[in-house]
A and B are shown apart, each in its own frame.
Chain A
Amino acid sequence: MPLRRIMRLNENISILLVEDNPAHAEIVLRSFETYDMNENIFHVSDGQEALDYLYREGNFAGGNAKRIPDLIILDLRLPKVDGIEVLKKIKSDIKFKTIPVIILTTSESDKDIAKAYTNHVNSYLVKPIDLEKFGELIESFGYYWFSWNKFPVN
């Protein structure tokens, strides 16, 4: 597939997936299988875990330091620390504010969309109920972010 070849351009980027619903996380991961990128994706299941990952605190403290992600896929409704709170933290921290954050949620509420963009989200995507559409979304998503998009050099 020519798509795969183009995609390889950004093959080294790392992605942080923040998703509390294990089923949804599984769907996202399976969708990305076509891009052969799953090794680059790190999954956390709540907002606090996401922050801990970024700041190397809690379970992520100590030696086994992970690299700072190039892209963050963030759900909105998260246990403990809400998605919007996580977004606020990221975008107000000089270390992380350049990381593109993409909201991937089931919520289509205008308020949530407005809140996300107010807090400088880079993109807002709604999870389609239909699997085929979900696949299409992830395909376009990968094509865009993994092939065309230029990331800042750390």
Chain B
Amino acid sequence: MILLRNLKIHQKLIIIFTVFGGIMTITSTFITFINELSLEEKNLVRNAELQAKLISEYCALPLDFNYPDEALEILQKLKNIKNVSSALLLNASDSVFARYDRDTESEHLSLYISMNEGHYLHDNHLHVLQPIYLEGNQIGKLYMMVDTKMNELIKERLYTALLLFFVLFIFTILLAWLVQIVIAQPIINLTSITQIISKKNDYKTDISRLGEDEISKLYNSFNQMMKTIHNRDEKLQETIKALSASELRFRSLVSNQTGVVYRANVDQHWTMSYISPQIEDLSGYKAEHFINNNKLSYKDIIFKEDIEEVLKDVKDRFKLEYRIVTANSALKWVHEQGQIINDEESGLSWIDGVIIDITDRKLQEQELLEKNEELERFTYTVSHDLKSPLVTIKAFTGYLPSDIKKGDEVRINKDLHFIQNAAEKMSQLLDELLELSRIGRKVNPPKTMNFEILVNEVLQLVAGRIEKAKINIKLNIAPVNITGDIPRLTEVLQNLIDNAAKFTSDSENPTIEIGTLIEQGNTIFYVKDNGIGIDPRYMHKLFGLFEKLDAHSDGTGIGLALVKRIVELHNGKVWAESEGLGKGTTFKFKIGNTFTPKNTAALYQ
């Protein structure tokens, strides 16, 4: 069987059928052959004995009466019986009485005379000896030799057997072929189909077969199996697709989010076992630098002042806000959210967390805080600075009747002066508040204008005050342009010149210089006076809303706040320089080049 293992199924079938069929055919042919041969022999013997008996009956009388011629005549009747080749009639004394030979006399006949009654087969010849009786006495013997022609017979039978063998053998092969077609071929086909399917991975092919036999069942089960595989395959493909899509999503989530994802050891250094590459955007240090504290530990970049607080708060689930120092020494605010994970199976602990840059948010919070403070100051002022003149007016209109009654002229004048001042202050305050509230709400499209032309226009607006206070105006303007909301920029200059005029009026030879200069590559516009100057202690209050540095000045504390707001809307900056009291003041401002009406509107919505 081992020899058959590697043969194809139809080869196996043919070999098995041929071998077993052959053995069976040969055996059956051989048995038939032997059987037929012995049957033939029996027939031959019986016929010969019968003939011998018959002839000996006929020859009894001629023998008894000693008529040899008549005996010969009887013997010669054997001519009709083809097989008999010789016959010998012997008398009681065993001498030859009559003799018949078909062809030539055979010498060896006498050899058999001495044999006993019966038959004897030898050398293709049957020898029969028949005693002759008359009235109970043996009077002689008949010897007969029959040519059996056994060789021919055997040959003849052998041919038949061979013919039979071949016919059977062909039938066997035909049978094998038929079996092969009916049983093996579908299996072979199935094999080749499965091979093709397994090569192409195409489980969609329908190979179902009609029928109730095992092969059909095999085909149908196989078909069912393929369908199942195909369905599973499709599901698998779908799952793989979904999985890879979700992986892609996850990847893009991790790589596109602004946050840094990390896994760290639970130690005092945040020893990172993984940190996503975004850390480079955040800190300026590469992710590899943090892994296993290769070049630095994460703790190293936490702002020193915040470390204590941070270390205290890292437990279980935590949310932190602290500052880090980036590679180029900038401070950034980050929000960190993490969890300490204790894996019971492995006994390991680690921190999984996310770090997000919240610098912008913090700045916005700061800005919001400032805006809130400003708003608070605003409402405060509405209740305080608007109430103040009201208190004054009410009080002095209250004093007025009794002062008139007393005829106290000094007091009457004082009362009226206070009332008038308070009323003026109130109207000024209301005007300026209105002006302030307009900034940012109403934005003019940006225009570019020659700065000197703008200055001259503004000087015409403030000409009255300048002339009255006898202030000298000096211009030191380079041919530069200014771009922005021109009406607002006009207000800036007007306020700065007004302010300068206000505080130079008491100076000797009051002078205001308006000009431009270049500082660190930027064009700076300035308004310089030789007035009372500013005490450096109060410099920070200069631009605050409703802040006044001089209780006796007639300002409302809005003018410079207005200047600051307009300049900032132009992405610019305004500041004051003064060497101290009595040494004059220079107000300087620059305008950013990204001013667009859109972004200013957005700021104030």
Contact = CB atoms under 8 A, between A and B. Distances in A.
Nearest to A107: B384
A67 to B, nearest CB: 24
A109 B380 contact: yes
A106 B383 contact: yes
A73 B39 CA distance: 162
A24 B383 contact: no
A121 interface: no
B549 A80 contact: yes
Contacts of A26: 414, 418
Interface of A: 20-24, 26-27, 30, 45-46, 48, 76-80, 105-109, 111-112, 127-132, 134
Task: List the 9 shortest-distance A-B pairs measured between CB atoms, nearest first.
Answer: A131-B398, A20-B551, A23-B392, A45-B551, A23-B418, A106-B387, A27-B395, A79-B548, A131-B395
Contacts of A130: 394
B422 A23 contact: yes
B376 interface: yes
A132 B398 contact: yes
B20 interface: no
B399 interface: yes
Interface string B522-557: 000000000000010110010000111111100000
Contact of A107 (B380, B396, B397, B549): B380
Contacts of A77: 384-385, 546
Contacts of B221: none
Contacts of B396: 23, 27
A62 B443 CA distance: 55
B517 to A, nearest CB: 30
A129 B548 contact: no
Given A27-B396, A131-B394, 10 more contacts: A20-B548, A26-B414, A46-B551, A48-B537, A79-B549, A111-B376, A128-B391, A129-B390, A131-B395, A131-B399
Contacts of A127: 387, 391
B294 interface: no
Contacts of B550: 79
B421 interface: yes
B394 A23 contact: no
A118 to B, nearest CB: 17
A134 B395 CA distance: 8
A101 B230 CA distance: 92
B395 A45 contact: no
A80 B541 CA distance: 8
Contacts of B231: none
B578 to A, nearest CB: 14
Given A78-B551, A80-B538, A107 B383 contact: yes
A106 B390 CA distance: 10
Interface in B361-402: 376, 380, 383-385, 387-392, 394-399
A111 B383 CA distance: 13
A24 B538 contact: no
A27 B395 CA distance: 7
Given A24-B391, A131-B394, A106 B548 contact: no
Nearest to B381: A77
Contacts of A109: 380, 383
A48 B67 CA distance: 197
Contacts of A45: 551-552
B394 A129 contact: yes
A129 B426 CA distance: 15
Contacts of B546: 77
A21 B388 contact: yes
Contacts of A131: 394-395, 397-399
Contacts of A106: 383-384, 387-388, 391
A23 B384 contact: no
